[in-house]
A and B are shown apart, each in its own frame.
Chain A
Amino acid sequence: MRLSTAAPKIWARGAVTLGIALAAAVTVACAPVQQAAAPGATPATDIFGTPADPAAVQRGGTLTMALSAEPDMLDPTQSRSFYTRYVFHTMCEKLYDLDQNTRIVPQLATALPTVAPDGLTVTIPLRQGVRFADGTPMDAQSVVTTFQRNLTMPGSGRRSELGPITSVEAQGTSTVVVHLSAPFAPLTSVLADRAGMIMSPAALQQLGDKFGSAPVCVGPFKFESRVAQNSIDVVRDPNYYAADRVFLDHITYRIITDASIRAANLQSGDAQVADQLSTQDVPSLRNAKGIQVLDSNSLGYQGITFNVGNTSGLGNAPGHVGTPVADDPRVRQAFELAVDRQALVQTVFGGLYSVACSPVSPDTVYTSEAAQACTPHDPAAARALLQEAGVQMPYPIKMITSNNPDSLRLAQALQALVADGGFNLQIVPVEYSALLDQQDRGDFEMLQLGWSGRIDPDNNITNYLSTGGGQNVAGYSDPALDALLTRARTSTDQAERVRLYGEVVTAIHAADPIVYLYRQRNYTGVTSAVSGVQVFPDGIARIAFAGRTR
Chain B
Amino acid sequence: MRSYLLHRLWQSAVTLVLATIVVFLGVRALPGDPAAAFAGEERDPASLAAIRERLGLNDTIVVQYGKFVLGALRGDLGTSTRTGIPVSQMIGTGLPVTIELSVLAMLVAIVLGVTTGVVAAVRRGRPAEWFANGLALLGLSVPNFWLGLIAILYLAVGLGLFPASGFVPLGEDPLANLHHLVLPALVLGTGIAAIVMRQTRSAMLESLGADYIRTARAKGASPRAVIGRHALRNSLVVVVTVVGLQLGILISGAVVTERIFGLPGFGKMTIDAVFQRDYPVIQGVVLVTAAAYILINFLVDIAYSLIDPRIRVAGAQT
Q: A31 and B264: CB pair below 8 A?
A: no
Is A440 an interface position by the 8 A CB rule? Answer: yes
Contacts of A255 in B (CB 8 A): 262
Question: Given the complex, which residues of A lie within 8 Å of B34, measured CB to CB?
Answer: 433
Q: Does A372 contact B (CB under 8 A)?
A: no
Contact call A160/B167, Cβ cutoff below 8 A: no
- The yes or no answer to B9 lying at the interface (CB within 8 A) is no
- Is B57 interfacial (CB-CB < 8 Å)? no
Q: Are B264 and A231 in contact (CB under 8 A)?
A: yes
- Chain A neighbourhood of B264, CB < 8 A: 227-231
The answer to whether the Cβ of A119 comes within 8 Å of any Cβ in the partner chain is: no
Contact B153 A438, beta carbon cutoff 8 Å: no
**Binary contact track A226-248/B, C-beta < 8 Å → 1, others 0:** 11111100000000000000000
Which of A75, A228, A270 contacts B80 (CB under 8 A)? A228
Could you say which residues of chain B place their CB within 8 Å of the CB of A160?
Answer: 44, 46-47
Residues in A neighbouring B142, C-beta threshold 8 A: 24
Instruction: Judge whether B206 is part of the interface by a CB distance below 8 angstroms.
Output: no
Report chain B residues within 8 Å CB of A41: none
The stretch that binds A, out of B35-43, B217-225, B286-294, B310-318, is B35-43
Shortest distance in angstroms between B80's beta carbon and chain A's nearest beta carbon?
A: 7
Contact A261 B262 (CB under 8 A): yes
With both beta carbons as reference points, the residue of chain B lying nearest to A213 in the complex is identified as B84
Complexed CA–CA distance, A265 and B162 (Å): 11
Q: Is B93 an interface residue (CB 8 A)?
A: yes
> A70 touching B83 by the CB < 8 A rule?
yes
Contacts of A70 in B (CB 8 A): 82-83, 272
Tell me if A436 and B33 are in contact (CB < 8 A): yes
A159 and B44 CA atoms in complex are apart in Å by 11
Q: A157-B42, A228-B264, A270-B165 are in contact. Are A33 and B32 (CB under 8 A)?
A: no
Pick from A10-18, A143-151, A484-492 the stretch touching chain B: A10-18
Residues of A within 8 A of B130 (CB): 12-13, 16-17
Q: Count contacts between A and B, CB distance < 8 Å.
A: 192
Complex: A71 Cα to B85 Cα, angstroms: 12
The answer to the question of B138 belonging to the interface, with a C-beta cut-off of 8 Å to chain A, is: yes
Determine if A72 and B38 form an interchain contact, defined as CB atoms under 8 angstroms apart: yes
Contacts of B238 in A (CB 8 A): none
Interface size class of A (residues with CB under 8 A): 35 or more
Q: Does A431 contact B (CB under 8 A)?
A: yes
Assembly CA distance A230 to B259 (angstroms)? 10
Q: Is B165 in contact with A265, judged by CB distance below 8 angstroms? A: yes
A239, B275: Cα distance in complex, Å: 39
Known: A227-B264, A229-B268, A470-B45. A265 touches B164 (CB 8 A): yes
Asked if A452 is at the interface (CB within 8 A of a chain B CB), the reply is: yes
With A32-B153, A155-B50, A261-B262 already in contact, the answer to whether A436 and B137 are too (CB < 8 A) is: no
> What is the chain B residue whose CB lies nearest that of A9?
B125
Q: Mark B113-138, 1 if CB is under 8 A from A, else 0.
A: 00000000000010101110111011
Mark contacts of B262-277 with chain A using CB atoms, 8 A cut-off: 1 yes-contact digit, 0 otherwise.
1110001100100111
1/0 per residue A430-468: CB within 8 Å of B? 011110111010000000001110000000000100000
Chain A minimum-CB-distance residue to B37: A433
The B241-278 residues at the A interface (CB cut-off 8 A) are 259-260, 262-264, 268-269, 272, 275-277
Verify if A73 is at the interface (C-beta below 8 Å from B): yes
Chain B residues with Cβ under 8 A from A31's Cβ? 149-150, 153
Closest chain A residue to B152 by CB distance?
A264
Q: Which of A73, A226, A230, A433 contacts B262 (CB 8 A)?
A: A230
Cβ of A72 and Cβ of B83 under 8 Å apart?
yes
CB distance from B136 to the nearest CB of A (A): 9
Nearest A residue (CB) for B260: A261
Q: How far is the CA of A258 from the CA of B255 in the complex (A)?
A: 13
CB-CB under 8 A from B93, the residues of chain A are 227-228
How big is the B interface, by class?
A: 35 or more
CA distance A269 to B157 in the complex (A): 8
- Chain B: which residue is nearest A6 at the CB level? B125
> Hey, which chain A residues are within 8 Å of B42, CB to CB?
80, 157
Taking A154-B54, A258-B259 as contacts, is the C-beta distance between A431 and B166 under 8 angstroms?
A: no
A470 lies within 8 A of B43 (CB): yes
A267-B262 in contact (CB<8A): no
Assess the A315–B83 pair: CB atoms within 8 A: no
Determine whether the beta carbon of B47 is less than 8 Å from that of A254.
no
A20 near B262: Cβ-Cβ < 8 Å: no
B153 adjacent to A256 (CB under 8 Å)? no
Name the contact of A264 in the complex, choosing from B32, B80, B153, B272 (C-beta under 8 A).
B153
A544 to B201, CA, bound (A): 58
Asked if A72 and B47 sit within 8 Å, CB to CB, the answer is: no
Contact A431 B32 (CB under 8 A): yes
Q: How far is the CA of A432 from the CA of B32 in the complex (A)?
A: 8
Least Cβ–Cβ distance between B41 and chain A, in angstroms: 6
Q: Choose among B54, B80, B90, B156 the residue that contacts A268 (Cβ–Cβ < 8 A).
A: B156
CB-defined contacts of A433 to chain B, threshold 8 Å:
30-34, 36-37, 275-277
- Interface bits A132-155 vs B (CB < 8 Å: 1, else 0): 000000000000000000000011
Q: Is the CB of B36 within 8 A of A80?
A: no
What residues on B are CB-neighbors of A156 within 8 Å? Answer: 47, 50
Closest A residue, CB atoms, query B97: A230
CB of A80 within 8 A of CB of B53, answer: no
Known: A73-B82, A229-B272. A256 touches B40 (CB 8 A): no
B137 and A20: CB pair below 8 A? Answer: yes
Residues in B whose Cβ lies below 8 Å from that of A260: 149
Q: Does A314 contact B (CB under 8 A)?
A: yes
Q: Which residue of A lies closest to B55 (CB)?
A: A155
| Contact present for B135 and A20 (CB under 8 Å) | yes
Contact A81 B40 (CB under 8 A): yes
A33 near B153 with CB under 8 A, answer yes
**Which residues on B sit within 8 Å (CB–CB) of A58?**
none
Within the complex, the shortest CB–CB distance from A304 to chain B, in Å, comes to 16
Among candidates A20, A231, A256, A270, residue contacting B138 with C-beta atoms closer than 8 Å: A20
Which 8 pairs across A and B sit closest by C-beta, in order of nearness? A470-B44, A315-B45, A230-B264, A433-B32, A434-B31, A155-B50, A20-B134, A268-B164
Query: What residues make up the interface of B, taking CB atoms closer than 8 Å to A?
Result: 30-34, 36-48, 50-51, 53-54, 80, 82-85, 89-90, 93-94, 125, 127, 129-131, 133-135, 137-138, 141-142, 146, 149-150, 152-153, 156-157, 160, 163-167, 259-260, 262-264, 268-269, 272, 275-277
**Which A positions have Cβ atoms within 8 angstroms of B?**
9, 12-13, 16-17, 19-21, 24, 27-28, 31-33, 70-73, 75, 78, 80-82, 154-157, 159-160, 210, 212-213, 226-231, 254-258, 260-261, 264-265, 267-270, 314-315, 431-434, 436-438, 440, 450-452, 463, 470-471
- Beyond A16-B131, A440-B33, 12 additional contacts (C-beta under 8 Å) are A13-B129, A28-B146, A31-B153, A33-B150, A33-B153, A75-B84, A228-B90, A257-B259, A258-B259, A315-B44, A433-B34, A436-B36
A-B contact pairs, 22 of them (CB 8 A): A12-B130, A16-B130, A33-B149, A33-B150, A33-B153, A72-B82, A75-B84, A82-B41, A159-B47, A227-B93, A228-B85, A230-B264, A261-B152, A261-B164, A261-B262, A264-B157, A267-B157, A270-B156, A315-B46, A433-B276, A437-B33, A470-B46
